[in-house]
Structure 1
Amino acid sequence: MQPLRIGIVAGEASGDILGAGLVRALKQRYPQARFEGVAGELMLAEGCQSLYPLERLSVMGLVEVLGRLPELLRARKRLIRHFMDNPPDVFIGIDAPDFTLAMERALKAAGIPTVHYVSPSVWAWKRKRIFKIKQSTDLLLTLFPFEAEVYRPTQQNLRFVGHPLADVIPSRLDLDAARRQFRTDETVGMVALLPGSRGSEIKYLARPFLETARWLQQRRPELTFVLPAANAYRYEQLQQLIDSAFPDVRVQLVLQQSREVMAVADAILIASGTATLEACLLQKPMVVAYRMAGLTYRIYSRMIKSRWISLPNVLADEEMVPEVLQQQVTPEVMGPLLLRALEDEPYRKRLRRVFGILGEQLRQNASERAADAIVELLEARDAER
Structure 2
Amino acid sequence: MDHSDAIPMQRVAIVAGELSGDLLGAGLIRALARRHPGVRFEGIGGPGMRAAGLDSLYPLETLSVMGLVEVLRHLPRLLRVRNDLLERFSANPPDVFIGIDAPDFNLGLERRLRARGVRTVHYVSPSVWAWRQARIHGIARSVDRMLTLLPFEAAFYERHHVPVTFVGHPAADRFPMDVDVSAYRTALEVPDDAPVLAVLPGSRGGEMERIGPIFAETVARLRRAHPDLQVVAPMATAALRARFEVLLAAAGVTGGVNLIDGRSAEAMGAADVVLTASGTATLEAMLLKRPMVVAYRVAPATAWLVRHLRLLKTPYVALPNLLADEALVPEYIQDEATPAAMAQGVQRLLEDRGRAAAMQARFEELHQRLRRGADERAAEAVEHTVG
TM-score of the two chains, using structure 2 as the length reference: 0.86
Question: Which residue of 134, 137, 141 corresponds with 1:131?
Answer: 137
Q: Aligned pair in 2 of structure 1 residues 256, 141: CA closer, same or farther (>3 Å)?
A: same
Partners of 2:107 and 2:296 in 1: how far apart? Answer: 26
Question: Which residue of 358, 376, 379 corresponds with 1:368?
Answer: 376
C-alpha contact (below 8 Å) 1:291/1:325 kept by paired residues: yes
Q: Verify: 1:222 aligned to 2:224, yes or no.
A: no
Residues 43-65 of structure 1: per-residue CA shift (max 9 Å, x gap): 44434426244486353xxxxx4
Q: Verify: 1:353 aligned to 2:361, yes or no.
A: yes
Partners of 2:143 and 2:103 in 1: how far apart? Answer: 11
Q: Verify: 1:250 aligned to 2:252, yes or no.
A: no
Q: Which ranges in structure 1 are unaligned for 5 or more consecutive residues?
A: 60-64, 381-385
1:74 offset after TM fit, Å? Answer: 3.0
Secondary structure of residue in 2 paired with 1:133: helix
Partners of 2:327 and 2:319 in 1: how far apart? Answer: 10
Q: Aligned pair in 2 of structure 1 residues 144, 108: CA closer, same or farther (>3 Å)?
A: same
Residues 29-55 of structure 1: per-residue CA shift (max 9 Å, x gap): 345444444434544443442624448
Where does residue 307 of structure 1 map in the other structure?
315
Identity of aligned residues (%): 43
Q: Which amino acid aligns with 1:299?
A: L
1:153 offset after TM fit, Å? Answer: 4.8
Q: Which amino acid aligns with 1:265?
A: A
Question: Which residue of 331, 339, 351 corresponds with 1:343?
Answer: 351
Q: Verify: 1:18 aligned to 2:24, yes or no.
A: yes
1:28 offset after TM fit, Å? Answer: 2.1
Q: Which amino acid aligns with 1:262?
A: M
1:3 offset after TM fit, Å? Answer: 8.6
Where does residue 164 of structure 1 map in the other structure?
170
Stretch of structure 1 that moved more, 40-49 or 363-372? 40-49
C-alpha contact (below 8 Å) 2:16/2:60 kept by paired residues: no
Question: Which residue of 94, 109, 112 corresponds with 2:115?
Answer: 109
Q: Which ranges in structure 2 are unaligned for 5 or more consecutive residues?
A: 1-7
Structural mapping, 1:291-306, within 5 Å: 291-301=297-307, 302-306=310-314
Where does residue 70 of structure 2 map in the other structure?
68
Q: Which amino acid aligns with 1:253?
A: L
Partners of 1:10 and 1:172 in 2: how far apart? Answer: 31
Q: Which amino acid aligns with 1:283?
A: K
Question: Which residue of 180, 192, 200 corresponds with 2:206?
Answer: 200
1:226 offset after TM fit, Å? Answer: 1.4
Where does residue 327 of structure 1 map in the other structure?
335
Partners of 1:4 and 1:201 in 2: how far apart? Answer: 44
1:200 offset after TM fit, Å? Answer: 2.7
1:193 offset after TM fit, Å? Answer: 1.4
Partners of 1:242 and 1:154 in 2: how far apart? Answer: 44
1:68 offset after TM fit, Å? Answer: 2.6
C-alpha contact (below 8 Å) 2:114/2:143 kept by paired residues: yes
Residues 203-233 of structure 1: per-residue CA shift (max 9 Å, x gap): 3233332332222112111111112233xxx
Where does residue 383 of structure 1 map in the other structure?
none
C-alpha contact (below 8 Å) 1:10/1:54 kept by paired residues: no
* Corresponding pairs, count: 369
Secondary structure of residue in 1 paired with 2:133: coil
Q: Over aligned residue pairs, what C-alpha RMSD do you find? A: 2.6
Secondary structure of residue in 1 paired with 2:290: coil
Residues 133-161 of structure 1: per-residue CA shift (max 9 Å, x gap): 11001111112223333223543221111
Q: Which amino acid aligns with 2:64?
A: L
Residues 226-278 of structure 1: per-residue CA shift (max 9 Å, x gap): 12233xxx1x1133224444351422222222112211211111121222112
Q: Aligned pair in 2 of structure 1 residues 127, 281: CA closer, same or farther (>3 Å)?
A: same
Question: Which residue of 79, 85, 88 corresponds with 1:77?
Answer: 79
1:12 offset after TM fit, Å? Answer: 3.9
1:284 offset after TM fit, Å? Answer: 1.4
Where does residue 239 of structure 2 map in the other structure?
237
Structural mapping, 1:145-164, within 5 Å: 145-164=151-170
